[in-house]
Amino acid sequence: MTAVGRQRLDKWLFFARVVKSRSLSAKLAQAGRIRINQVKTDNAAHAVKPGDVLTITLDRQLLVYQIVDCGSRRGPAEEARRLYDDISPKPLPREAISATGALPEREAGSGRPTKKERRATDRLRDPG
């Protein structure tokens, strides 16, 4: 049983609408993709409290939330937003990312062949 003012990590993630279901929040925690106050955890039952900072790594984004309150239910999005303060770093603009070389660049026409180009290649291989 958790102490007063504390809540299981997977429940809090579900109530704050970080993920769609509680089982997904448990899998996210067990995969080790959540840090609580900069300490990696793989325990979905870890108790969190107001003031804790969660660093959550999702597919293509990094979320940093400071817990303000423990939830009592999975309510509407407006209610969920009151459970945390979003202190995530702002993503870089796409132009800045491509200037640093983080995004791969290729010349026009150097990607996959079009259907017309593929047919021409097939005709070269099998002229009959």
Give the pLDDT confidence of 50-109 residue by residue, as tens digits. 999 999 998 878 999 999 999 999 999 999 999 999 999 887 776 766 666 666 666 777
Give me the percent of the chain exceeding a pLDDT of 90.
Answer: 63
User: What are the sequence ranges of the domains in the chain?
Assistant: 7-91
Predicted local distance difference test score (pLDDT) of residue 102? 62
pTM: 0.71
Predicted local distance difference test score (pLDDT) of residue 1? 43
Q: What's the average model confidence in pLDDT over 112-120?
A: 89
The Cα 35–Cα 51 span in angstroms is 14
Token pair for residue 79?
């209610």
- Picking from 41, 71, 61, 42, the residue whose alpha carbon sits closest to that of residue 53 is 41
- Tell me the CATH number for domain 7-91: 3.10.290.10
Token pair for residue 82?
């009151």
